Amino acid sequence: MSKNKELISKIGLRLDGRRADELRRIRCKMGVFAQPDGSAYIEQGLTKVLAAVYGPHQVKNRQKAQHDTCIINTQFSMAVFSTNERKKRPRGDRKSTEMSLHLQQALAAVIETDLYPWSQIDVYVEVLHADGGIYPACVNAATLAIIDAGIPIKEYVCACTATLANNEIPMLDISHQEEVLGGATLTVAALPMSGKIVLMEMSQRFHLDHLPKVLNKALEGCKDIKVILDEAVKNHVAEMGSSTGWANSRT
């Protein structure tokens, strides 16, 4: 684990100058496109993700239709130019399929699926630029897009990564550079308001004793992200509302 030592300097700064518990800058925008029912764009550091939501609409493959809930169909796709080395295919490989499944799992936990029997919601995410923490960015973008589409959800679902630096300090929001250098990466998708975890995934290993603190750090990160997303949604709604006039009636 000698490599891990370089992750955080003696004065507590990371390679990109952040502190251990700091997120990268998050910038987001809802309603980027006109044609989908909901769309969102999010930048977490250099990682950039576009999400689009279509539906709820009639189920495409009629045999799959469910009488009591709606189907959530997700597709994860990465632009061929998103990584440093050019990718051969934008989707269809094992990693993208896994990502799609995980995304679906996270979204199924929050969407009020029983409101839409016999229907389907399509969620498509497109990674434009990959710099670590792709899955969290996708989940956050998809959440915003679903809110933009006006689909009722129980609460925000946010995701965040964390790792253990120097074998003792938990570190938040891992960039690609740190991913390559460092050891284990814990990815958590959670419902920050109720504190529930919908998805937890880890690569490589560290001692079980470290898990609680790293997990707590990741959950804190999810909560921070929730605050940022919440503000973005409120701003967006106020902006949309002000064009119709009702937002101004408060003052």
Identify which of residues 73 and 143 has a Cβ nearer to other proteins in the complex: 73
Bridge partners of residue 201, in order along the sequence? 187
DSSP letters along 48-81, please? EEEEEEEEEEE-SSGGG--SSS-EEEEEEEE-TT
Q: How far is the CB of 122 from other proteins (least distance, A)?
A: 5
Q: What is the DSSP annotation of 8-62?
A: B-TTS-BTTS--TTPPPPEEEEE---SSSSEEEEEEETTEEEEEEEEEEEE-SSG
Site membership for other proteins, residue 119 (CB under 8 A)? no
Asked if residues 163 and 184 have their Cβ atoms less than 8 Å apart, the reply is yes
Identity of the residue, 123 or 159, whose beta carbon is nearer to other proteins in the bound complex:
123
Interface residue with other proteins among 66, 69, 75, 166 (CB under 8 A) is: 75
Centroid of chain to Cα 231: 16
86 binds other proteins (CB under 8 A): yes
Structure tokens of 46? Answer: 């250099």
Which residues, in sequence order, are bridge partners of residue 78? 127
Choosing from 8, 23, 51, 165, the residue that interacts with other proteins (CB under 8 A) is 51
Which of 6, 22, 65, 90: binder of other proteins (CB under 8 A)? Answer: 90
Which residue's CB is nearer to other proteins, number 93 or number 168?
93
Least distance (Å) between residue 86 CB and other proteins: 5
The site for other proteins (CB under 8 A) is made up of 27-29, 32-36, 39, 41, 43, 46, 48, 50-52, 54, 60-62, 73, 75, 77, 79-84, 86, 90, 92, 122, 124, 126, 128-129
